[in-house]
Amino acid sequence: MKEKNIMPIDTEFVQYGEYKGSPTMTLKKSAEDKWPFSFGFKKAQLIVQHIEEIKHWVETMEKMGVK
């Protein structure tokens, strides 16, 4: 049996949408964020695949004082 198409519910800082028929996710720093970060499903899969490397890079940059 095929699973029903259930989209997650938007929150103040995370919104779900669609671009040219493909699902997207938008992340905001605040509710009034003028420059939100949006990406699609394929990029989300890539982020998940490399999440540990991303975390390590962020930690390294923070230790170097990058803001």
- Which parts of the chain sit beneath pLDDT 70? 1-5
Is 8 a domain residue? no
Domain total for the chain?
A: 1
- The parent domain of residue 52 ranges over 14-63
Is 22 a domain residue? yes
Show Cβ contacts of residue 49 under 8 Å, excluding neighbours closer than 6 positions.
none
Show Cβ contacts of residue 31 under 8 Å, excluding neighbours closer than 6 positions.
12, 13
Judge if pTM exceeds 0.75. Answer: yes
Is 3 a domain residue? no
Q: Which helix (H) or strand (E) holds 48?
A: helix 41-49
C-alpha to C-alpha distance for 37 and 49, rounded to whole angstroms: 19
Is 9 a domain residue? no
Is 23 a domain residue? yes
